């Protein structure tokens, strides 16, 4: 069985972060492991509090896994602090980690800042060059590329600028544009548009986490990057189409819709 590691924050409501990543790995038949960077008290409406995990413990979780188990892919999500980013990069380089998917989480859908301002420089200089695939959303890409983005042409230009900062591939997610849900993949040479119609739902909590974890799972299984991204986007679109109206705010995606469909359970929820 292939094995993937998520380095991310815990979302108590189970829709984003570590919880979304582990469910996504399981839905892909990949064994999931975790190094937790922070614990958030969070639900579908708000992030209420965040406790950072000490840097030393973040590093030791990563060491504990790599010293014992072969890791086929790594997904990195919420890492708020500069010192934690630097330690993660140091440990990943030390263990020669491969197939690294970085979701540069900055602000939650509910508006909580998940990246401290002084951590942006470390994200740029340390984490971006380690990424096989970097998956910014539009607000994150605007910060990383230093330009406003209004349309697909702007997404393509920003993806090219960000790819110049070090990641092998940039997948710029278009979920924040008003029209469709088209994402742009750039590998330094060619732009590929991954087109999807916008699904009419308010329940999109954890979409970015689910997508990046699905890419990592597909890379762990040995897919080349373009196929891994295309299949992950297809999985995500299904997970949004079957998103769950759990809670009073932005509900989570359905990670096991395919399994539930086969079992005849989909209609019961």
Ligand X SMILES: Cc1ncc(COP(=O)(O)O)c(N)n1
**Which one, 2 or 109, has the nearer CB to ligand ATP?**
109
> Is 208 an active-site residue?
yes
Residue with tokens 């998956």: 135
> Is 15 an active-site residue?
no
Q: Which of 27, 71, 78, 240 binds ligand X (CB under 6 A)?
A: 78
- Cβ proximity of 180 and 198 under 8 Å: yes
Q: Identify any residues that bridge with 75 across adjacent strands, giving them in sequence order.
A: 6, 101
Q: Which of ligand X, ligand ATP, none interacts with 11 (beta carbon under 5 to 8 A by kind)?
A: ligand X
Number of residues near ligand ATP (by CB under 6 A): 23
Q: Which of 16, 102, 194, 243 binds ligand X (CB under 6 A)?
A: 16
CA distances from 76 to 128, 135, 197, 202, 245 (A): 11, 10, 27, 25, 27
Q: Which of 92, 97, 209, 219 binds ligand ATP (CB under 6 A)?
A: 209
Q: Rounded to a whole number, what is the distance in angstroms from the first to the last CA of the chain? A: 30
Position 198 contacts ligand ATP (CB under 6 A): yes
- Residue of 208, 233, 237, 253 marked catalytic: 208
Q: Which of ligand X, ligand ATP, none interacts with 40 (beta carbon under 5 to 8 A by kind)?
A: ligand X
**Which one, 55 or 223, has the nearer CB to ligand X?**
55
- Cβ proximity of 47 and 108 under 8 Å: yes
Position 143 contacts ligand ATP (CB under 6 A): no
CA 30 to chain centre: 16
Burial of 101 (0-12, 13-18, 19+ CB in 10 A): buried
Position 36 contacts ligand ATP (CB under 6 A): no
CB of residue 230 vs ligand ATP: minimum separation in angstroms?
11
> Is 14 an active-site residue?
no
> What is the rounded CA–CA span in Å between residue 158 and residue 134?
13
Position 109 contacts ligand ATP (CB under 6 A): yes
Cβ neighbours of residue 155 closer than 8 Å, sequence gap 6 or more: 138, 141, 149, 172, 174, 177, 184
- Cβ proximity of 219 and 252 under 8 Å: no
| Catalytic sites, residue numbers | 173, 204, 206-209
Binding site for ligand X (CB under 6 A): 8-9, 11, 16-17, 40, 42, 77-78, 105, 108-109, 205-206, 208-209
């Amino acid at each position: 069985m292939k094995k993937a590691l998520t380095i991310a924050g815990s979302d108590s409501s189970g829709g984003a972060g570590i919880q979304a990543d582990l469910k996504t790995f399981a839905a892909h038949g990949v064994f999931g492991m975790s190094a937790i960077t922070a614990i958030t008290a969070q639900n579908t409406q708000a992030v209420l509090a965040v406790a950072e995990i000490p840097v030393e413990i973040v590093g030791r979780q990563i060491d504990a896994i790599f010293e014992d188990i072969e890791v086929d892919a790594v997904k990195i999500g919420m890492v708020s602090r500069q010192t934690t980013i630097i330690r993660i990069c140091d440990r990943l380089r030390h263990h020669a980690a491969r197939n690294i998917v970085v979701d540069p989480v900055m602000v939650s859908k509910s508006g909580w800042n998940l990246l401290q301002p002084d951590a942006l420089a470390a994200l740029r200089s340390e984490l971006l060059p380690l990424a096989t695939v970097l998956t910014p959303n539009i607000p994150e890409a605007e910060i990383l590329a230093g330009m406003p983005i209004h349309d697909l042409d702007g997404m393509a230009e920003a993806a090219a600028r960000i790819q110049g900062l070090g990641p092998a591939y940039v997948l710029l997610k278009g979920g924040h544009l008003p029209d469709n849900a088209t994402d742009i993949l750039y590998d330094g040479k060619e732009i590929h548009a991954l087109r999807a119609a916008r699904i009419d739902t308010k329940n999109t909590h954890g979409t970015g986490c689910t997508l990046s974890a699905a890419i990592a799972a597909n890379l762990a299984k040995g897919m080349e990057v373009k196929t891994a991204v295309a299949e992950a986007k297809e999985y995500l679109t299904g997970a949004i189409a079957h998103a769950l109206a759990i809670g009073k705010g932005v509900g989570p995606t359905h990670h096991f819709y395919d399994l539930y469909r086969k079992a005849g359970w989909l209609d019961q929820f």
